[in-house]
Amino acid sequence: MSKKKIESNYKKKIDLLTSYNKNYYDVSKPLVSDKEYDDLKNSILALENKYSYLRSEESPSKIVGFKPSKNFHKVTHRAQMLSLANAFEREDLMNFEKKILNFLSKDKDFKLSYSAEPKIDGISASLIYKNGNFKTGLSRGDGKEGEDITANLMTIKEIPKKIEFKDFPEEIDIRGEVFIQNSDFKNLKDKFANPRNAASGSLRQKNPEDTKKIPLKFIAYTFGYEKGLKAKNQTDFLKNLNSWGFKINPLNKLITGIDNLLINYSRIEMDRAKIDFDIDGIVYKINDFELQKRLGNVANSPRWAIAHKFASNKAISKILNIEIQIGRTGALTPVAKIKPINIGGVIVSNATLHNEDEIDRKNVRIGDLATIERAGDVIPHIISVDITKRDKKSQKFIFPKKCPSCGSKTIKEFNNTTKKEDAVRRCSSEGYDCEKIAIEKLKHFVSKEAFNIEGFGKKIVENFWNLNLIKLPQDIFNLDFKKIENLEGWGKQSMENLKYSINQRKNISLERLIYSLGIRHIGLENAKILSKYFKSFSNFINFSNEVNLDDILNIDGIGETQLLSVKNFFNNKINLNILKELQKNLEVKDSSIKNKNGLLNEKTFMITGKLNGISRAEVKSLIEENSGSSVSTVSKKLNYLIIGDKPTKKKVNKAKKLKITILNQSQFLKMLNITS
Ligand code: IVH
């Protein structure tokens, strides 16, 4: 075939692929089957391989930025897929247990039993079973919404497709980890960096036939939504899983008390290398489901479970420089640039020094030899420096008194709770006025728990910022895609992917939107509280007209610090403009009050005095679960005052004066049909 003919053949294929992509991404109507699409793509790649002169911006080999994971449809999880808080030391475990005992109002001698499950480092998946049939399989995604990867999960032998046991629930989401055994990974070493990447890559194959070739395994460990599950605790549930045909981790154990958890931890850590799958710690779960239910969740993780990560790796290297990074909230974080060193298989060249005080406390100087520690996925940090090896000419590190990005004064705030000066020094400018803060704010805006714009990673934010494509959040929704398509490293396909991701997120909940704004002290939980209070985006935008400051302070969870921070946000003209522009570009869903018909619908409660056998935190979450709300002051807006032992007299008297119903603990519990 002549060169010309080869080129025209190639061009035809590229045009065809472009039209397939366009239909898929723009109008969500695939023109061909996945197989046909893949065959075409592979034939283009093969041609390029054979004839190196073939080039096209639209080539699938040019796709940069991110993989077209939107080949998979997004599905909302019936129950959120939570993540776990981390523990590293005995002290973290003690705190974890203490918090649980406090919440449950148990005394410190109360013995808690845990299901201790070695934490497999793979990819989690949720398998939806209806009447014993495996119907749909989802990836974790952002925890709320996953990708439909059913076809790929179907190829895994260890996933039962039909379960005929009588005690198998009518409906259940079985959750667990997809992974590759180390012995199987040996043959895949050339293709993937580690077993986890191999599992992730295989699960995201467009063609299930490709997934089938990889020896993926599945271990089950928890459930999401369920109807008809009889187990009363985690150990029984694990036994059930096994009897239904799921593989479970053979190293799971039921353990009572922190000391025994630590013994088990050391044993497993010692044997870690002998196990044929990668584990990065041990998950501890309160065994009793009743207690788990009482404990509930905070933001994205359960109160009843924690991941005890394995000890880190340490190494010694030289501090070449100390750089100052500026975070989203203006915090100045010193980062030690160290001579690159391999710590447990990862090349480390940065280590955090946390804040100004830490540099002083650890007496760290540029040029010092430092011990650096790396634990799991946490940023490496400096443990100590060797002063005996210090160069005589070395000098104390002077922390900048002006922001290295915008030149504003840096300040240490006074912390009203601790009555001390903060350890963190901050840039005093107003958010978007400081370049570095603005970039970090934008990174936060697009991040997973915020707008979750797939493929819009940190590097892209920086790149677009430098190219003046985005300066403020609203710019994301008015991008010049023609310009992006022509940027180096971009092409039609990757541009279309990005456009698709952004368009998908134009419809957003008020809660997420508030969180995305990155208002200081307004994390996920507070964003949720505020969204419930404001109910709609237009109420929120009109904050200064809408809000009665006493009202907002009366919401439990919002204190002076949070209110001041929100007020500051609304005092800033740039922020007001951002909100106005976002309103033009977005469809913000009103916050729907969950479970509107709860037993305490729209009633307000306040607690005073010590309760018996139940903590305030638990009473508050019971109130919320039943559509009531708890407030922090006695006013006309209060419906019920719950009194325990030694209530504050002033509060009781005020409530009596205002004719507010006063309840004792058991009267309150009776309202919820709970007998104490
Ligand atoms: S339970 C309760 N159990 O760890 C909510 N997770 O950070 C968490 N994981 O996404 C799930 N082994 O990928 C649970 N025995 C185990 C686990 C486990 C590994 C992973 C899972 C999850 C992550 C949580």
pTM, to two decimals: 0.68
Residue type, 401: K
From the DSSP assignment, how many helices (H) and strands (E) are in the chain? 25, 26
213 is catalytic: no
Among 283, 284, 293, residue to substitute to test ligand 1 (most atoms within 8 Å of Cβ): 283
Nearest CA owner, ligand 1 atom 19: 119
19 and 136 in a single domain? The answer is no
Residue 516 sits in a domain of what CATH number? 1.10.150.20
The residue from 464, 480, 505 where one domain ends is 505
> Which three-class secondary structure state does DSSP give residue 285?
strand
500 and 537 in a single domain? The answer is no
* Catalytic option among 13, 119, 492, 651: 119
For 301-354, what is each residue's pLDDT tens digit? 999 999 999 876 788 999 999 999 999 999 999 999 999 988 876 788 999 999
302 lines ligand 1 (CB under 6 A): yes
The Å distance, Cα 114 to ligand 1 centre, comes to 15
Question: Counting atoms of ligand 1 from 1, which one is nearest the CA of 177?
Answer: 13
For 617-648, what is each residue's pLDDT tens digit? 889 888 988 888 888 889 998 999 999 999 99
201 and 102 in a single domain? The answer is yes
Range of the domain at 383: 319-426
DSSP character string of 530-582: HHHHH-SHHHHHTHHHH--HHHHHTBTT--HHHHHHHHHHHT-HHHHHHHHHH
Residue identified by tokens 């061909």 is: 32
With a cut of 60, say whether residue 426 has pLDDT above it.
Answer: yes
For 141-199, what is each residue's pLDDT tens digit? 889 999 999 999 999 999 999 999 999 999 999 999 999 998 998 888 777 767 888 88
The Å distance, Cα 219 to ligand 1 centre, comes to 11
Residue 383 near residue 371 (C-beta atoms within 8 A)? yes
The Å distance, Cα 304 to ligand 1 centre, comes to 12
Nearest CA owner, ligand 1 atom 17: 119
280 and 373 in a single domain? The answer is no
The Å distance, Cα 217 to ligand 1 centre, comes to 16
With a cut of 90, say whether residue 25 has pLDDT above it.
Answer: no
What is the chain's mean pLDDT, rounded?
89
For 523-571, what is each residue's pLDDT tens digit? 998 998 899 888 899 999 988 776 777 778 888 778 888 998 999 999 9
> In the predicted model, what is the mean pLDDT of residues 420-441?
93
Nearest CA owner, ligand 1 atom 1: 222
For 33-46, what is each residue's pLDDT tens digit? 766 777 788 788 88
Residue 69 near residue 286 (C-beta atoms within 8 A)? no
117 lines ligand 1 (CB under 6 A): yes
672 lines ligand 1 (CB under 6 A): no
For 353-382, what is each residue's pLDDT tens digit? 999 999 999 999 999 999 998 876 678 999
User: Which of 247, 80, 228 has its CA nearest to residue 179?
Assistant: 247
528 lines ligand 1 (CB under 6 A): no
168 and 304 in a single domain? The answer is yes
365 and 466 in a single domain? The answer is no
> In the predicted model, what is the mean pLDDT of residues 466-476?
97
Residue 601: predicted pLDDT: 87
Question: Counting atoms of ligand 1 from 1, which one is nearest the CA of 122?
Answer: 13
Q: Residue ranges of the alpha helices (H) in 412-491?
A: 435-446, 458-466, 481-485
555 and 654 in a single domain? The answer is no
142 lines ligand 1 (CB under 6 A): no
State the total domains in the chain: 6
Residue 38 sits in a domain of what CATH number? 1.10.287
CB atoms within 10 A of CB 644: 17
Residue identified by tokens 């394995």 is: 310
> In the predicted model, what is the mean pLDDT of residues 378-387?
88
Nearest CA owner, ligand 1 atom 21: 124
Among 82, 86, 119, residue to substitute to test ligand 1 (most atoms within 8 Å of Cβ): 119
Does residue 67 fall inside a structural domain?
Answer: no
The residue from 426, 453, 472 where one domain ends is 426
The residue from 426, 451, 481 where one domain ends is 426
CA-CA distance, 113 to 232, in Å (whole number)? 13
The Å distance, Cα 305 to ligand 1 centre, comes to 9
Q: Tokens standing for 440?
A: 């970090």
With a cut of 80, say whether residue 78 has pLDDT above it.
Answer: yes
121 lines ligand 1 (CB under 6 A): no
For the chain, percent of residues with pLDDT exceeding 70 = 94
